[in-house]
Amino acid sequence: MTNPLLSEWTGPFGIAPFAEIEDAHFAPALDEALTAHMAEIDAISSNSDAPSFENTVEAMEGAGKGLDQVLSVFFSVAGADSNDARQALQRDFSPKLSAHFSAINSNKALFERIETLWQTRDTLDLDAEQARVLMLTRRSFVRGGAALDGAEEERMTEIKSRLATLGTSFVQNLLKDEADWMMPLSAADLADLPEFVQDAAKAAGAEKDAGGPVVTLSRSLIVPFLQFSPNRALRKTAYEAWGARGANGGETDNRGLAAETLALRKDRAALLGYPDFAHYKLETEMAGTPSAVRELLMEVWSAAKAQADKDAQILEAMLHADQFEGPLEPWDWRYYAEKRRLAEHDLDEAEVKPYFQLDRMIEASFACATRLFGLNFAPLDVPLYHGDCRAWEVSRNGEHVAVFIGDYYARASKRSGAWCSAMRAQARKPDLRTPIVVNVCNFAKPPKGKPSLLSYDDARTLFHEFGHALHQMLSNVDYDSVSGTSVARDFVELPSQLYEHWLEVPEVLAEFATHADTGEAMPQELLDKVLGAATFDMGFATVEYVASALVDLAFHEGAPPADPMQKQAEVLEAIGMPRAIGMRHATPHFAHVFAGDGYSSGYYSYMWSEVMDADAFEAFEEAGSAFDAATAKRLEETVLSSGGSVDATELYTEFRGRMPGVDALLKGRGLAA
Ligand SMILES: [Zn+2]
């Protein structure tokens, strides 16, 4: 019997034959695909012909087709429709895959061929994309330690494995501290809270067998508690427990782990020839250097701090009006800010929701892509991995462009959040591949016969993920490894965050934000409230975020701190952190930075992208229309079609004529002077 995961996929546009795939197919298919991929890699590295771009780099790009097929289906269902069997498979697959790719990275014969090509690159007659793919391929081998030998190679392996252990312990300690703490609520304290917080506190109490409602350290419960509880003493207790996660002494204390992690990262960077970890990490990012990151953060910091200081005065006056003395404290901010929000932007979710119907918002996201890029969307009837998924064929001028799949509803088998992934990334060489892209969201599924209604935030999420999808679908490159969203981390959110702006375009809302029952457009007054609420308390949000980003950067630049808590205190002191605002993530629970390498000295990147998206949308405003044809064409030809085949700075400069300043971001966040 042939395994459908490894057979030739002959259905429409080469979509996986989901109806034929069973869980039992995954494990044998993965083993077979890994073996086949390794054989292809061995054939490339042991080729007796002298290395050429085609027989080495391009051959690597084309290798592993079976592995791509297996993983594209597996990761789709593991994330969006998991079950016990799939979770068990995931635990098996993850060490197998990391061993597989680390074996390829340490294949000396293969690296030698790549190095030879790199040394002779000027004589190879490569086009610009090939030259870049060669540079990126070699760089990734070198950064993985492929150029090290002997004791250095051993030390690198040792460091990597210790760092992996430290990252896992960091997260486990955090989970333990979070699980261990709870605060019971009396009937009176419970009654002070809005119904949804009461429900959450009761559910948490039931889950923990606490015999009554409790507050826990889960962000989705403690943040609304801090927003709504008028009991200042309880807020203080809860806030301090939340801030102490990972710093409670004993076995779950993360402070020693953080210090060891930072020291090992510095050693790792030194082995590879970098002055420190921040320089190593930022080399592959658009920002490039620690000083470029710091410059951006400090520009935003001054404006945000000025706004936060003003807001603090207003909130402190509210505190005093409540007969409390002394300064505003961190456990007060959210409570008084919420009171102020209600007074200034009285926004009733229930009034807004009927205007944001899922189907109309999908139509809106498509209609904007039609006007901007000439894309057309036709429903496609194919079996997918779950009955709630829908598919469309995307075409332009009658030519096939991509398949787009939307999987919008929450279900128990889906992990939380929203994401975009390519089941197949676009490429032309060595084989032609058109993209198959999926957007996964977690919107509440409506009762049968009722329309699905979104919050404004949900609608933004839909546009955000569709922006990532456009980046994949409009990709127009030769090689898979630089296709679509395969770009620097601080560039990848540009297309998605940029696309959110079209949801705010008045004519888009007028046409698509129509009432589910009456069909009428949203009244201007309500629309103004929705848009106004989006920038409320941005001084606070920006300060807590930028402070964390600056501490992250300081940790990884120069000598590693022996005492990270001391370093954190120094950084906050130097920037004049407002006393009533805490860091969004303090060191002992800063999982972005210590759970793994993903966002270490990279926490800034959300803001880097936001600077660009705000500035990029201004290009349309300057041209006089959110749908200006020439600007849309330029956006596609530079940012959206090039993936990682061209340096991000070059792409942005080509689109905008210059690099962005922070003005548009400050305006967008309501922080401009
Ligand atoms: Zn995103």
What is 455-490 written as a DSSP string? -HHHHHHHHHHHHHHHHHHT---S-GGGSTT-S-TT
Q: Terminus-to-terminus CA distance in the chain, angstroms?
A: 69
The answer to whether the beta carbons of residues 656 and 619 sit under 8 Å apart is yes
Ligand 1 centroid to 593 CA: how many Å? 19
The answer to whether the beta carbons of residues 588 and 169 sit under 8 Å apart is no
pLDDT of res. 267: 97
- Tokens representing residue 659 in the block: 């690099």
Q: How many CB atoms lie within 10 A of CB 32?
A: 16
Task: Output the CA torsion sign for 567, 571, 572, 574.
Answer: positive
Buried/exposed code over 199-212 (b: 16+ C-beta within 10 A; e: otherwise): ebbbebbeeeebee
To the query of whether residue 283 is one of the catalytic residues in this protein, the response is: no
DSSP per-residue string spanning 561-596: PS-HHHHHHHHHHHHT--TT---SS-GGG-HHHHSS
Burial class (CB in 10 A: 0-12, 13-18, 19+), 382: middle
DSSP annotation of 297: H
Over residues 641-662, the pLDDT tens digits come to 999 999 999 999 999 999 998 9
pLDDT of res. 94: 84
Q: Which of 492, 573, 534 is nearest to 669 (CA)?
A: 534
Task: Output the CA torsion sign for 439, 445, 451, 454.
Answer: negative
Q: How many CB atoms lie within 10 A of CB 511?
A: 14
Average pLDDT of the segment spanning 529-542:
88
pLDDT of res. 540: 97
Ligand 1 centroid to 160 CA: how many Å? 28
Characterise 599 by phi-psi region: left (phi > 0), alpha (psi -120 to 50), beta (else). alpha
Q: Which of 498, 431, 478 is nearest to 640 (CA)?
A: 498
**Amino acid at site 650:** E
What does the angle CA 100 – CA 101 – CA 102 come to, to the nearest 5 degrees? 95
Nearest 10 degrees: Cα torsion 73, 79, 81, 87? 90
Ligand 1 centroid to 529 CA: how many Å? 25
- pTM for this predicted structure: 0.92
Over residues 245-293, the pLDDT tens digits come to 999 999 999 999 999 999 999 999 999 999 999 999 999 999 999 999 9
Average pLDDT of the segment spanning 334-339:
95
Catalytic residue among 465, 500, 544, 557: 465
Ligand 1 centroid to 498 CA: how many Å? 10
Rounded to whole angstroms, the Cα distance separating 388 from 592 reads 32
Average pLDDT of the segment spanning 601-616:
93
DSSP annotation of 536: T
Rounded to whole angstroms, the Cα distance separating 308 from 301 reads 10
Burial class (CB in 10 A: 0-12, 13-18, 19+), 90: middle
Ligand 1 centroid to 464 CA: how many Å? 6
Alpha helix (H) ranges present in 120-194?
128-143, 150-180, 187-191
DSSP annotation of 98: H
- Ranges of beta strands (E only) in 389-480 are 390-396, 399-409, 419-424, 436-443
DSSP annotation of 450: S
Ligand 1 centroid to 444 CA: how many Å? 20
Average pLDDT in the chain: 94
pLDDT of res. 532: 81
Going by pLDDT thresholds of 50, 70 and 90, the confidence category of residue 469 is very high
- Per-residue CA distances from 331 to 213, 229, 236, 322, 378 (Å): 21, 10, 5, 15, 51
Residue 558 has pLDDT above 70, yes or no: yes
Rounded to whole angstroms, the Cα distance separating 56 from 47 reads 9
Over residues 45-81, the pLDDT tens digits come to 999 999 999 999 999 999 999 999 999 999 999 999 9
- Which residue in this structure is represented by tokens 């949801």? 503
Ligand 1 centroid to 419 CA: how many Å? 7
pLDDT of res. 455: 86
Q: For 111-124, give the secondary structure using H, E and C.
A: HHHHHHHHHCHHHC
- Candidate from 33-47, 332-346, 424-438, 521-535 with smallest mean pLDDT: 521-535
Over residues 283-325, the pLDDT tens digits come to 999 999 999 999 999 999 999 999 999 999 999 999 999 999 9
Residue 347 has pLDDT above 90, yes or no: no
The secondary element (H helix, E strand) that includes residue 215 is strand 214-215
pLDDT of res. 411: 87
User: What is the β-pairing status of strands 436-443 and 376-380?
Assistant: unpaired
Rounded to whole angstroms, the Cα distance separating 409 from 58 reads 39
Q: Using alpha carbons only, how large is the chain's radius of gyration in Å?
A: 26
Q: What percent of the chain has pLDDT over 70?
A: 100
Ligand 1 centroid to 380 CA: how many Å? 26
pLDDT of res. 1: 63
- Ranges of beta strands (E only) in 342-386 are 376-380
- Candidate from 81-85, 398-402, 528-532, 576-580 with smallest mean pLDDT: 528-532
pLDDT of res. 40: 98
- Which residue in this structure is represented by tokens 């200081």? 309
